[in-house]
């Protein structure tokens, strides 16, 4: 790709330019193929968990006093009065799953358990179970204990017919709850062997204030200290994520509610709906977003459980999409057409987002104006056909990219990534700058103002200036390159540090229609959650000009957000189209036929001794690659006898790590072919994995294809097939010789494939262009 044009002379900094080799049309970044080495993990100190808990408490106490209620302050004050041993035990218990524990299951050598338990009981951080804990205690008990308790009162109880031996534990628990009292099942002397964690809600709330999530806990700190989790480098002076205690408590409520809804079984949604009137309403962005999400989720579950009236009432409590869509549909289902039409017209006049507008316009036309076909369906059905080789069925986007490159275009499967990369680089200082980043704890990588939809208003003037910068591509590229050079590799939630993608991002900035990028980026800035996705699969440059292409295979549908982005790109002046893939035989498809010789059949304990690879294109062999490989172990005598490869022959050969990048570049994005491909591909992938190189792509097995296209042969071994077809096999079980013979089999298979695919009467196979 020529980057950029003479009008835009900025070039990426030297740090951007890395050693590259070209494999066919694929540029391979050698830095990606460097072997990975991992230092031994550090050891955690004996009371690491206590340090982590108190680090969290100090952080919260310093920033969130405005969000604490009296019970939270009482917890903090009471915790500080505990001895170190009692604090250690409480943190250990708080970090365990569940609220109830058997005393004998607490085994911590560094803690005097009897003294710590007594202190925690005295200060009401622990207690013994009470009647409301009955079901939970039964769940803790081993199955054998449950059976013994039930059988101890069986005579004369009327449950002589209950089959204890075959009953599952849940059935035993239900039977115990129905037939035993709490005191019978757990007399006082038994109950004192169990402990209940008190202050559970206070700890959960404090953790939520720290992380802003109910799915993170103290394990995150331990993983940090072990080097398994990285902390964000952007800020050290963190501001509170919640401006008020009301907002913090509402967010905590809705986060917990969403968790409950995620696991809700049949019947539970109606129970939750009974309390929906009391759900908190706070006029701030984040609790509002979570409320709308919880209402939509509850409504969907109520619909699932056959409660449409309750679902409709739930949806009507939200004025946000997609709850508004469900409201319209349920009104129509209830034959309340006038209300449904009125709501649709209100949504068209004042939509909450573009997807809502698209739904309302389309639904109104189909249901009230007798339009036979929806907008999305019509667009999909009108799209041209794109013929791709059937070997790419598992990766249609990659197959389309390969086809485009063979036709002389530059293309990449970019989807949302190119827009996120541009967004993140252009606004890096606003997203992650030490003064402006809306990040609230050391593990926070996603700016909060993106999630809450406040990013645009918070940075309006700076964003408008940055949009104007895009009208000067040279200045814009200089800005992007400076950010790339300064921050490349820093972990974040927006920018992918992908150099191949960055080349296309630069080209897009250089060649985009004037004002076009600002239209897309402004939509992302105003409502990032809604508008960060749905972009077309591919970006293509032909004659230096960009266009976008969405790929659809049989059975695929256009999602509403995809249609929103396609229409937005078109309005912004970009060329954008859709293509329906039809699978065929493509004579120009590139293949790499591989054969391996190894020390044995199991890749976990054996290694490669020789590799042969043959590249096939346009019906002929065009290139070969081969190497002996030093396996780092002795070659068994029977393998020596089979292959003729000896320890002496491989003693001075390169190890696999030394040739891995060159071989991966030779394979490129071609179809991987082998005779019994499961073995060769699996073995080679294991070797690549050991040196940190990814091997992916379509795989073709000549054994399978030979059986399909040449059924009824006596044998499908490579030697037998070579003899049958008159293919030379002078050094059988040497890698290059076997790869050449397998390539000849592939050519015969492809002749059969070509014969079974008649020419398509419509599209010639050229990748779809934009329709007028």
Residue 432, judged by CB atoms within 10 A of its CB (0-12, 13-18, 19+), counts as buried
DSSP state of 620: E
**Cβ proximity of 546 and 536 under 8 Å:** no
* Residue corresponding to tokens 């908190």: 280
Sheet holding 699-701, edge to edge: 620-628, 608-617, 591-598, 671-674, 699-701
Cis peptide before 466 (omega within 30 of 0): no
**Cβ proximity of 422 and 219 under 8 Å:** no
Q: How far apart are CA 483 and CA 431, in angstroms?
A: 12
CA distances for 666 relative to 314, 475, 659, 689, 695, angstroms: 58, 38, 11, 17, 12
Q: Which residues neighbour 478 within 8 Å (Cβ) at sequence distance 6 or greater?
A: 10
Q: Which residues neighbour 72 within 8 Å (Cβ) at sequence distance 6 or greater?
A: 202, 205, 206
How many angstroms separate the first and last alpha carbons of the chain? 27
DSSP state of 568: H
Q: Which residues neighbour 250 within 8 Å (Cβ) at sequence distance 6 or greater?
A: 280, 281, 282, 287, 290, 291
| Annotated active-site residue in 72, 292, 733, 757 | 733
Strand partners, 575: 547
**Cβ proximity of 139 and 194 under 8 Å:** no
Q: How far apart are CA 295 and CA 309, in angstroms?
A: 14
CB half-sphere exposure, 125, CA atoms < 13 A? 27
Angle at 458 between CA 454 and CA 459, to 5 degrees: 125
Pairing mode, strands 545-552 and 538-542: antiparallel
Q: How far apart are CA 594 and CA 736, in angstroms?
A: 8
Q: How far apart are CA 86 and CA 81, in angstroms?
A: 10
CA distances for 28 relative to 35, 145, 322, 660, angstroms: 15, 62, 43, 12
Q: How many residues does the chain have?
A: 772
Judge whether 128 counts as a catalytic residue: no
**Cβ proximity of 554 and 584 under 8 Å:** no
Any alpha helices (H) in 656-697, and if so which ranges?
A: 656-667, 677-690
**Cβ proximity of 691 and 656 under 8 Å:** yes
Q: How far apart are CA 724 and CA 746, in angstroms?
A: 14
Structure tokens at 15: 């740090």
- Among 178, 151, 145, smallest CA distance to 163 is for 151
Strand partners, 623: 615
Pairing mode, strands 410-413 and 194-197: unpaired
The radius of gyration of the chain from alpha carbons, rounded to an integer in Å, stands at 33
How does DSSP assign 65-102, residue by residue? GGG--HHHHHHHHHHHHS-HHHHHHHHHHHTSSSSEEE
Any alpha helices (H) in 407-498, and if so which ranges?
A: 417-426, 428-432, 448-452, 455-458, 460-469, 473-487
Strand partners, 595: 612
Strand partners, 550: 578
Region for residue 452 given its phi and psi (left: phi exceeds 0; alpha: psi -120 to 50; beta: otherwise): alpha
Q: How far apart are CA 626 and CA 609, in angstroms?
A: 11
DSSP state of 392: G
Tell me the catalytic residues.
733
């Amino acid at each position: 790709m020529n980057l950029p044009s003479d009008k835009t002379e900025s070039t990426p900094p030297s740090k951007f330019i890395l050693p590259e080799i070209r494999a066919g049309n694929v540029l391979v970044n050698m830095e990606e193929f460097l072997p990975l080495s991992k230092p031994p993990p550090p050891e955690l100190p004996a009371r690491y968990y206590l340090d982590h808990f108190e680090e969290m408490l100090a952080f919260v106490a310093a920033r969130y006093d405005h969000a604490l209620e009296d019970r939270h302050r009482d917890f903090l004050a009471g915790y500080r009065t505990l001895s170190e041993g009692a604090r250690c035990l409480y943190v250990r218990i708080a970090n365990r799953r569940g609220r109830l524990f058997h005393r004998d299951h607490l085994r911590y050598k560094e803690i005097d358990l009897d003294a710590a338990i007594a202190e925690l009981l005295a200060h009401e951080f622990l207690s013994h179970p009470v009647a409301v804990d009955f079901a939970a205690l039964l769940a803790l008990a081993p199955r054998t204990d449950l059976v013994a308790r039930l059988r101890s009162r069986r005579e004369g109880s009327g449950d002589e017919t209950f089959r204890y031996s075959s009953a599952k534990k849940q059935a035993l628990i239900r039977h115990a709850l129905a037939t035993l009292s709490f005191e019978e099942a757990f007399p006082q002397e038994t109950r004192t062997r169990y402990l209940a964690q008190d202050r559970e809600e206070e700890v959960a709330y404090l953790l939520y204030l720290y992380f802003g999530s109910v799915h993170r806990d103290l394990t995150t700190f331990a993983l940090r200290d072990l080097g398994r989790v990285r902390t964000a480098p952007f800020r050290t002076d963190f501001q509170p994520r919640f401006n008020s205690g009301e907002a913090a408590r509402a967010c905590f409520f809705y986060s917990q509610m969403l968790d409950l809804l995620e696991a809700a079984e049949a019947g539970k949604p109606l129970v939750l709906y009974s309390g929906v009137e009391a759900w908190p309403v706070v006029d701030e962005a984040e609790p509002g977003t979570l409320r709308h999400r919880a209402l939509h989720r509850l409504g969907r579950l109520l619909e699932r459980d056959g409660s449409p009236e309750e679902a409709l009432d739930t949806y009507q409590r939200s004025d946000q999409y997609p709850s508004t869509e469900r409201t319209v549909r349920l009104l129509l289902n209830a034959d309340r057409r006038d209300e449904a039409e009125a709501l649709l017209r209100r949504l068209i006049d004042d939509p909450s987002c573009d997807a809502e507008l698209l739904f309302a316009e389309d639904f109104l036309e189909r249901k009230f104006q007798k339009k036979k076909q929806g907008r999305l369906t019509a667009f999909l059905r009108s799209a041209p056909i794109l013929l791709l080789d059937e070997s790419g069925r598992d990766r249609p986007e990659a197959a389309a990219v390969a086809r485009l490159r063979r036709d002389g275009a530059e293309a990449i499967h970019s989807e949302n990534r190119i827009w996120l990369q541009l967004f993140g680089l252009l606004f890096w200082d606003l997203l992650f700058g030490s003064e402006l980043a809306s990040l609230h704890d050391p593990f926070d990588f996603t700016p909060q103002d993106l999630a809450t939809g406040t990013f645009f208003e918070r940075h309006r003037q700076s964003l408008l200036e940055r949009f104007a910068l895009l009208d000067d591509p040279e200045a814009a590229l200089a800005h992007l390159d400076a950010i790339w050079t300064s921050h490349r590799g820093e972990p974040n939630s927006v920018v992918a540090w992908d150099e191949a993608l960055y080349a296309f991002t630069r080209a897009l900035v250089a060649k985009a229609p004037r004002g076009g990028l600002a239209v897309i980026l402004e939509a992302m800035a105003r409502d990032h959650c809604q508008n960060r996705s749905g972009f077309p699969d591919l970006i293509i440059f032909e004659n230096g000009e960009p266009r976008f292409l969405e790929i659809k295979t049989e059975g695929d549908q256009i999602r509403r957000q995809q249609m929103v982005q396609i229409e937005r790109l078109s309005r912004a002046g970009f060329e954008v189209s859709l293509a329906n893939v039809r699978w065929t035989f493509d004579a120009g498809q590139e293949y790499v036929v591989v054969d391996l010789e190894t020390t044995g059949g199991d890749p976990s304990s054996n290694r490669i001794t020789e590799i042969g690879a043959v590249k096939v294109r346009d019906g002929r062999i065009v290139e070969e690659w081969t190497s002996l490989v030093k396996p780092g172990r002795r070659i068994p005598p029977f393998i020596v006898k089979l292959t003729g490869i000896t320890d002496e022959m491989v003693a001075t050969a390169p190890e696999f790590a030394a040739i891995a990048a060159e071989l991966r570049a030779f394979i490129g994005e071609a179809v991987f072919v082998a005779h019994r491909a499961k073995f060769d591909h699996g073995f080679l992938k294991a070797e690549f994995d050991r040196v940190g190189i990814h091997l992916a792509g379509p795989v073709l097995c000549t054994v399978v294809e030979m059986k399909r296209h040449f059924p009824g042969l006596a044998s499908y071994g490579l030697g037998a097939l070579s003899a049958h077809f008159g293919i030379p096999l002078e050094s059988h079980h040497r890698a290059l010789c076997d790869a050449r013979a397998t390539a000849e089999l592939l050519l015969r298979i492809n002749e059969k494939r070509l014969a079974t695919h008649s020419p398509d009467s419509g599209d010639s196979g050229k990748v779809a262009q934009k329709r007028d």
